[in-house]
Amino acid sequence: NMYVVLGASGNTGRVVAKNLLADGQRVRVVGRNAAHLQPLAAEGAEVFIADATDASALTRAFQKADAAYVMIPPSLTSNDFRVFQDRTSDAITAAIKNAGVKNVVSLSSIGADKPKGTGPVVGLHLLEQKLNQIADANVLPLRAAYFMENTLPQAAVIRMMGSVVGPIRPDLKLPMIATRDIGTLAAHALLGLAFRGKQTQELLGERDLDYSQAATIIGQAIGKPDLGYIQAPDNQIRAAMVQMGMSDNLAGLIIEMANALNTLHMRALEPRNASNTTPTKFETFVAETFVPAYQQQAAA
């Protein structure tokens, strides 16, 4: 089989590509930056440089592929992120149709069942809808929970504020997932190719956690056992995100998503079970990923 992986230098795509290569498969990795894809080329991947919004380039990237992993890459400075998402999902869908790719695993999110009110997740709702309209493709969107990686900017916030600060209710139990577990499951689905027609699968992490619990776990790991969590007003969070280099447009969408989570408009639909639970504990993520990020902040 020939596999194509979009976003192959990102958190999930890199793991998908590495797993497929480790299994001895032929893998074409697609991204905007050749240097970022070099480590995968060294492991035997074929590199294809394309912009995610370019349907003709993606059509060439998907040539002769039996299966593909697709996702909408982040674009933190986009002044109209929803338009960027829609251009990307249009290009991906056109390319899959034109190249005749038969099996597609896509990165989606809990809340992708809702047509509005979920910020950037609306773009994933539409990606799912568009992929579902490809008559002869088997499509599996992985509706992932809240990324543990979303806590990484807190490394800087803790240094400045002495607390974890965010827009989420302190008592809101969230399924939190390590992105590497998404990549591992996506690769497993691609290697098995057992999905048929149009399906969705939720991925809910190892357990549900609220931000107060997350702050306690982080605090214990960085030697601040009293670390707490503060839910700040939306306008303060938005200003802080813009100050950290995000576009005001995307910051607004993320606030909308936080409100959708807080009001349960956006939530997991499946009860937790063996197939939607993933192995990486938040404690493991904090030890292996958050603590080094926090120490790097200290050094800077």
Going by the DSSP 8-state scheme, the letter that residue 198 receives in this structure is B
- Residue-wise pLDDT for 173-212, tens only, equals 999 999 999 999 999 999 999 999 999 999 999 999 999 9
pLDDT in tens, 73-112: 999 899 999 999 999 999 999 999 999 999 999 999 999 9
pLDDT band at 300 (very low <50, low <70, confident <90, very high): confident
Give 285's strand partners.
none
Residues 6+ apart with CB under 8 A from 115: 122, 125
Give tens-digit pLDDT for 209-233: 999 999 999 999 999 999 999 999 9
Q: What are phi and psi of 192, to 5 degrees?
A: -85, -35
Q: Are strands 174-177 and 146-147 parallel, antiparallel or unpaired?
A: parallel
Chain position carrying tokens 């999902």: 89
Q: What does pLDDT average to over the chain? A: 97
DSSP H/E element including 70: strand 67-70
Give residue-wise pLDDT tens across range 131-178. 999 999 999 999 999 999 999 999 999 999 999 999 999 999 999 999
Helices in 224-290 by DSSP H: which ranges? Answer: 234-243, 248-262, 282-285
Q: Calculate mean pLDDT across residues 120-134.
A: 98
